Amino acid sequence: MTDRLHRSAPPAGLPQPVSPTDVGVVHLGIGAFHRAHQAVFTDRAMALSGDLRWGILGVTQRSAGVRDQLRPQDGVYAVLTAGAAGGGSSSGDGSAALGDGLSLELVGAVVDVAYPAEETPRVLAALAAPTTHVVTLTITEKGYARRPDGGLDVDRVRPDLEALRAEELAVGSDENNPEQATATSSEQKVVLGAAEPGAASSAIGILVRGLAVRRRVSGDLPLTVLTCDNMVDNGRVLERLVREAVDAALPGAEGAALRAYLDAAVTFPCSMVDRIVPATTPAQRDAVEAALGVRDEGLVVGEPFTQWVIEDRFAGPRPPWEAAGATLTADVAPYEQAKLRLLNGTHSLVAYSGWLAGHATIAEAVGDPAIAEAAREYLFDDALPTLDAPFDLRSYGEEILHRFANPHTGHTTIQVAMDGTQKIPFRWGGVLGDSLSAGRVPGGLVLGLAAWAEFVRRRVMAGEVVDDPRAAELAEVVHGAGGDREATVRGLLGVPGLLPDVAVGHEALLGAVVDARVPVS
Ligand code: CS2
């Protein structure tokens, strides 16, 4: 039985990982992407600056899996970079080359992972701690609990809103009895005398409860809440959802103190994140075990390219991320729009048409001439003309296609294809709305929509899982159409909130999608 990787004994050939002195960042959604992206920037920023206050407490929502991967390793894991060096804007990595376009680096920034179903008081305490200055999130588009119209789906976070209300109202009495608030245990004190806080069941919920606790414990301690998910104007979306949650839990005067705290001390900047991070395969884990001589259950894999563009609107201190290559700017929008429309939009077209053509990976799919042609039509003829950016968009687009062709990542079409109803509005919605408003039916995007619809139809008719929060709704449309292609397409494209208003009932668009022949070789 091979030993586990551990912070105390880094494998030969790899530098000792950083050991943070404090938890400065609480991260919600510590999946593979965070561990291969923001955590790497934070790790490198600490290593390069010597500022070790930026340890990360990861919070995992769905299961204790990531906690059980990392806690036995004292939070340390390796990142396997797959593909020729170059690209992006990260710097200062202490990686070791393994040959064949592969390199490994250890990340020590994550100090532990908490699982709210069993550790909610600990998470709330971390969110309230004066050493915590930043909360980051990668909870995926579906994690924001939005209704089709974009508002907060209160039913999906109701248990947390009820807990928030109970904690706030319990504190109301405590605030009149300060001695009670100081008499409780450290974690109990965090929730100021309330009964043992109920287990959090949503990311938005634990965030709002944590903000409320921070206010109760500290009054006006600033905090920056930085979303790193693929949504247009992601920081503004998150702020609106947090405020809708407060209004739902604490209407009127009951929520006045918390709203005033948000106004005065909490910021929600936008950011654009970019690195292709495929799911780690058992073969990759075994190969790294053979290379290191120890077992790393937390291994993550990424392409060489990495980029992080952050709105410089922080409520208090932050990690020196620019030391590791991040870009701080007053306006993230041009970077965010270009990345969502050019990279993510093309990714989805390649994923659906690639899956239909029988290609398991993105790299194989873009190697298919018919799919490559459709991807280029969408990227350069449909999406690029809708953008205005302070950098060369055509070169950026060509680099995206080069990145997709990287065979070393093993990024699968089915992984990118998941959650279509959550991704399409953000990555195709803008291009579609702008094109139709300009009187143009975008031919490449038509192929993408046709491929998505056919992907859903085939999976539903085959009884296979459609990995999407609205899978039941999609299945109902497909079965209701009774196999009729036009009815299926019209029904799926008519799913509320999927496409922009200008596209709903747009006969030229619908006709083009019905008539489209998905590009398969
Ligand atoms: C991909 C993204 O799975 C997907 O939807 O398009 O995860 C993509 O790999 C990242 O946004 C790249 O930065």
Q: Which of 315, 330, 345 is the last residue of a domain?
A: 330
| pLDDT tens for each residue of 491-517 | 999 999 999 999 999 999 999 999 999
| pLDDT tens for each residue of 163-186 | 999 999 886 644 434 443 333 445
Lowest-confidence region among 15-19, 184-188, 207-211, 273-277? 184-188
**Ligand 1 neighbour 347 (Cβ under 6 A):** yes
| Residue 196: per-residue pLDDT | 73
**Ligand 1 neighbour 427 (Cβ under 6 A):** no
Residue nearest atom 5 of ligand 1, based on CA coordinates: 416
Rounded to whole angstroms, the Cα distance separating 479 from 467 reads: 17
CATH number, residue 472: 1.10.1040.10
Q: Are residues 292 and 383 in the same domain?
A: no
Domain tally, the chain: 2
Which helix (H) or strand (E) is 224 found in, with range? strand 223-227
| pLDDT tens for each residue of 248-274 | 999 999 999 999 999 999 999 999 999
The answer as to whether 193 is a domain residue is yes
The answer as to whether 1 is a domain residue is yes
The answer as to whether 30 is a domain residue is yes
Cβ atoms < 10 Å from Cβ of 340? 23
Q: Are residues 317 and 422 in the same domain?
A: no
Give percent of the chain above pLDDT 90: 86
**Ligand 1 neighbour 276 (Cβ under 6 A):** yes
The answer as to whether 317 is a domain residue is yes
Lowest-confidence region among 100-109, 148-157, 442-451? 100-109
| Residue 85: per-residue pLDDT | 61
Q: Are residues 362 and 475 in the same domain?
A: yes
Q: Are residues 81 and 191 in the same domain?
A: yes
> What is the 276 CA–ligand 1 centroid distance (Å)?
6
Q: What mean pLDDT do residues 102-120 have?
A: 96
Mutational pocket test of ligand 1: of 138, 228, 276, 307, the residue with most ligand atoms within 8 Å of the beta carbon: 276
Mutational pocket test of ligand 1: of 90, 140, 343, 426, the residue with most ligand atoms within 8 Å of the beta carbon: 343
CATH number, residue 296: 3.40.50.720
Phi-psi region for residue 53, left (φ > 0), alpha (ψ -120 to 50) or beta? alpha
How far CA 423 is from CA of 6, 10, 376, in Å, comes to 37, 39, 20
Cβ atoms < 10 Å from Cβ of 296? 26
Q: Are residues 275 and 370 in the same domain?
A: no
Q: Are residues 352 and 367 in the same domain?
A: yes
The answer as to whether 385 is a domain residue is yes
Rounded to whole angstroms, the Cα distance separating 306 from 230 reads: 15
Name residue 333's amino acid: A
| pLDDT tens for each residue of 46-101 | 999 999 999 999 999 889 999 999 999 999 999 999 986 655 555 555 677 777 77
Q: Are residues 305 and 361 in the same domain?
A: no
Closest ligand 1 atom to Cα of 423: 5
Q: Are residues 270 and 239 in the same domain?
A: yes
Say how far residue 20 (Cα) sits from the centre of its chain: 24
Q: Are residues 324 and 380 in the same domain?
A: no
Q: What is the mean pLDDT of the chain?
A: 92
Rounded to whole angstroms, the Cα distance separating 153 from 146 reads: 5
Q: Which of 282, 309, 330 is the last residue of a domain?
A: 330
Q: Which of 280, 315, 330 is the last residue of a domain?
A: 330
Q: Are residues 344 and 308 in the same domain?
A: no
Lowest-confidence region among 325-334, 339-348, 450-459, 481-490? 481-490
**Ligand 1 neighbour 274 (Cβ under 6 A):** yes
> What is the 416 CA–ligand 1 centroid distance (Å)?
7
| pLDDT tens for each residue of 424-436 | 999 999 999 999 9
pLDDT of residue 193 exceeding 50, the answer is no
> What is the 2 CA–ligand 1 centroid distance (Å)?
33
Of 363, 407, 412, the residue nearest 83 (C-alpha)? 407
Which helix (H) or strand (E) is 273 found in, with range? strand 271-274
Q: Residue 97 has what DSSP assignment?
A: E
**Ligand 1 neighbour 230 (Cβ under 6 A):** yes
Closest ligand 1 atom to Cα of 344: 6
| pLDDT tens for each residue of 7-36 | 998 998 898 999 999 999 999 999 999 999
Residue nearest atom 3 of ligand 1, based on CA coordinates: 416
The answer as to whether 358 is a domain residue is yes
**Ligand 1 neighbour 423 (Cβ under 6 A):** yes
The answer as to whether 521 is a domain residue is no
Q: Are residues 425 and 482 in the same domain?
A: yes
**Domain ranges, residue 146:** 1-330
The answer as to whether 520 is a domain residue is no
> What is the 139 CA–ligand 1 centroid distance (Å)?
13
> What is the 306 CA–ligand 1 centroid distance (Å)?
12
pLDDT of residue 206 exceeding 60, the answer is yes
Q: Are residues 393 and 326 in the same domain?
A: no
| Residue 173: per-residue pLDDT | 45
> What is the 344 CA–ligand 1 centroid distance (Å)?
6
**Ligand 1 neighbour 136 (Cβ under 6 A):** no
pLDDT of residue 234 exceeding 60, the answer is yes
**Ligand 1 neighbour 344 (Cβ under 6 A):** yes
**Ligand 1 neighbour 275 (Cβ under 6 A):** yes
How far CA 93 is from CA of 41, 46, 379, in Å, comes to 9, 11, 32
